[in-house]
């Protein structure tokens, strides 16, 4: 395996963004640069740009998230964007959803080491979680899948009138255009492309926002949602 480069010092912007949790952000960066590379969670060539391209790029997503809401980070991987978001936003209740055991093991270690009491790690595939996790206000994702496929996994996990925030790169506008029909079928009522991180990251972080109406997942998931609700009530009665 290619040896990882040395982690560079944190940029000045990191102190401003992470505030009181800056020491924990440094510890997380060190874990990614060491265990994260050794366990194959990030590539060794990413280490020199961990701060700008990964931690800060994800932390500025907080600009688009309302106060005090519940969040599910779909396909969390090494914890991006969920962990940086948790560090800057202790007011959020965050679930890190990830199907691979080696990744959930790493995530659980990070959550415990950094004292992130408002973060829960769940192992599973998003498309199998309907009725197994509480619906959330916000679904986040980064580098998981093309937008139409990502939405089919993430949107059904939303509460009515919730939103999905997907960190995307230069392809954001094109992906959104190509996914409009699929998003409409999933109950999306409004879509937009935002740029966040002014004065922190260059280039700015690009976010696709998908807002849903009263039926997240659309007609296709209405029956599944009703069945999951009935199953949940049956379990509570026992």
pLDDT digits (tens, 9 = 90+) for 111-169: 999 999 999 999 999 999 988 899 999 999 997 889 999 999 999 999 999 999 999 98
Q: How far apart are CA 5 and CA 1, in angstroms?
A: 12
**89: its two tokens:** 């936003």
Cα–Cα dist 150/34, whole Å: 29
pLDDT digits (tens, 9 = 90+) for 23-68: 999 999 999 999 999 999 999 999 999 999 999 999 999 999 999 9
Average pLDDT, the chain: 92
pLDDT tens digits, residue range 59-90? 999 999 999 999 999 999 999 999 999 999 99
d(CA 183, CA 189): 8
Q: Per residue in 158-211, pLDDT tens?
A: 999 999 999 998 889 999 999 999 999 999 999 999 999 999 999 999 999 999
């Amino acid at each position: 395996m290619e040896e990882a480069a040395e982690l560079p010092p944190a940029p000045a912007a990191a102190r401003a963004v992470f505030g009181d949790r800056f020491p924990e952000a440094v510890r997380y960066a060190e874990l990614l640069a060491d265990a994260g590379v050794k366990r194959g969670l990030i590539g060794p060539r990413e280490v020199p740009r961990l701060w700008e391209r990964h931690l800060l790029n994800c932390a500025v997503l907080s600009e688009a998230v309302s106060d005090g809401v519940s969040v599910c980070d779909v396909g969390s991987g090494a914890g991006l964007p969920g962990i940086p978001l948790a560090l800057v936003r202790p007011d959020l209740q965050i679930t890190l959803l990830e199907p691979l055991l080696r990744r959930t093991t790493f995530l659980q270690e990070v959550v415990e080491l950094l004292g992130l009491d408002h973060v829960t790690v769940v192992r599973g595939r998003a498309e199998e979680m309907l009725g197994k996790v509480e619906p959330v206000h916000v679904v986040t994702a980064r580098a998981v899948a093309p937008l139409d496929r990502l939405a089919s996994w993430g949107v059904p996990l939303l509460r009515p009138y919730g939103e999905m925030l997907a960190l995307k790169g230069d392809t954001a506008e094109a992906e959104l255009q190509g996914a409009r029909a699929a998003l409409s079928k999933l109950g999306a009522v409004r879509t937009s492309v935002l740029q966040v991180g002014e004065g922190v990251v260059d280039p700015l972080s690009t976010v696709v926002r998908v807002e849903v109406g009263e039926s997240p997942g659309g007609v296709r998931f209405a029956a599944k949602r009703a069945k999951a609700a009935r199953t949940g009530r049956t379990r509570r009665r026992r």
